[in-house]
Amino acid sequence: MSNKNITPFYDPSLSYDENCKTGPFGGFADGEIYKNKGEPTHDFLGQKVYLPFGIPAGPIPNANFCEGGFQKGFDIIMYKTVRTRSHPCNAFPNIVPVKIDGKNLTLEQASAGLIMGEKFEDPIAITNSFGVPSIPPEEWIPDMRKAVKCAGKGQVLVATYLGTPGNGEDAFIQDWVDGAKMIRETGAPIVELDLSCPNEGKSSLLCHDTERVVKIVHAIQPIFKSSNIPVLIKLSYFSSDKKLKDFIEKVAPYVAGFNAINTIAGDVRKADGSQALPGKGRLISGVCGAPIKWAGIDMVQRMAKIRKESQSKFIIIGTGGVTTPSDYKEYIEAGADAVMSATGAMWNTDLAKQIKQEIL
């Protein structure tokens, strides 16, 4: 890597459980704490932050990782997605490098299939496949409470969760409601609904199942509204302008904002043609890192256009491919109100510091 922190804070060579028990690593464990100056002036859904920049749900699995991120100057930390019940992680490995031809991972390239790389290198490009694991609520609720308290002055924790399917759609929606009640117990001031993972939607991604999402946000809204907790929606990429506009117009009345994107899905194989990640249903996995920045920027620009045309007030969070301060600026210029970095931050724990040195 070109940055000095070449040890990622989440170690891909270890299992998910090993990371949770012994992590974080790299810069998140070096004891150095970034000191903000002055007063936080940026408003993020009612919370004052020094800079609307942070780490999205995914690589931050518990309070120890949250604390490491806050100490490194990431002012918005999203706790890894949780469920109302225990759910296992996919088999190891969960993160491997991916070879990308050219600067951008196009949808055509992803559709044609990708080859696993031999090592992690700049520009960082990986695929990850965890299966949205979750420890049971009796464990994550107190840990999330601890994570909320790890936020320092000018910082905020966002709780992220998703529903788990049961016997039919009514049971599925009820699980989202049950999860909302559990999240409310943690004291998290902001919540995000993870709709961007390949799981419960009729069209593979739940965020592409507009009608079902409307039912979910309508059902959970009273729980969070009564506690004055803003709700965010995590999205994947929409190739259709019409579907994106329809989704936002129908969902925006119930939420405070949208976060895009998660990953770009594609078949990932080894050089010999075998499946890169072991296990049933894991040939397709989400690719993230520098090559997907174009998709995140594109979604932000399109959402900003919809917001302007509809005179709406929802906020936009730009995520995907942020590895340098210039990437942060590009997202802000595209219309984002806040910016997130997962893969970039994982390998460069000084990223928040570098952006603040340029911006602030």
Question: Is residue 285 in some structural domain?
Answer: yes
For 77, the enclosing helix (H) or strand (E) is: strand 76-82
Residue 128 lies in a domain: yes
211 in any annotated domain? yes
Tokens 């090559």 belong to which residue?
291
How far is Cα 23 from Cα 269, in angstroms, rounded to an integer?
28
Is 335 within a domain? yes
- For residue 131, give the CATH number of its domain: 3.20.20.70
Q: What pLDDT, on a 0 to 100 scale, did the predictor assign at position 6?
A: 77
Between the alpha carbon of residue 9 and those of residues 174, 199, 268, 347, the distances in Å are 35, 27, 24, 7
Instruction: Annotate 270-306 with DSSP letters as a single string.
Output: -TTSSBSS-STT-SEEEEEEGGGHHHHHHHHHHHHHH
Residue 3 lies in a domain: no
What stretch of H or E contains 210? helix 210-226
For residue 86, which phi and psi values (nearest 5 degrees)?
Answer: -65, 140
User: How distant, in Å, are the alpha carbons of 51, 327, 343, 345 from that of 36?
Assistant: 10, 21, 23, 18
> How far lies 88's CA from each of 22, 94, 136, 137, in Å?
18, 13, 10, 14
Check residue 166 and give its pLDDT.
85
Question: Can you tell me whether residue 87 is helix, strand or coil?
Answer: strand
Which is nearest to 72 in space by CA: 346, 327, 351? 351
In a domain, residue 324? The reply is yes
Count structural domains, the chain.
1
* pLDDT of res. 320: 98
pTM for the structure as a whole: 0.96
Cα–Cα distance between 314 and 248 in angstroms, integer?
10
What per-residue confidence (pLDDT) applies to 152? 98
Query: Six-digit token pair at 23?
Result: 């992590």
Residue pair 243/299 in contact by the 8 Å Cβ criterion: no
Cα 14 from Cα 59, distance rounded (Å)? 13
| 261 preceded by a cis bond (ω within 30 of 0) | yes
Residue 204: which domain range?
Answer: 16-359
CA atoms within 13 A on the CB side of 53: 29
Domain membership of residue 8 (yes or no) is: no
The stretches in the chain having pLDDT less than 70 are: 1-5, 198-204
Q: How many CB atoms lie within 10 A of CB 101?
A: 11
User: Which stretches of 170-311 are assigned E, i.e. beta strand?
Assistant: 190-194, 198-201, 204-205, 231-235, 257-260, 264-269, 284-289
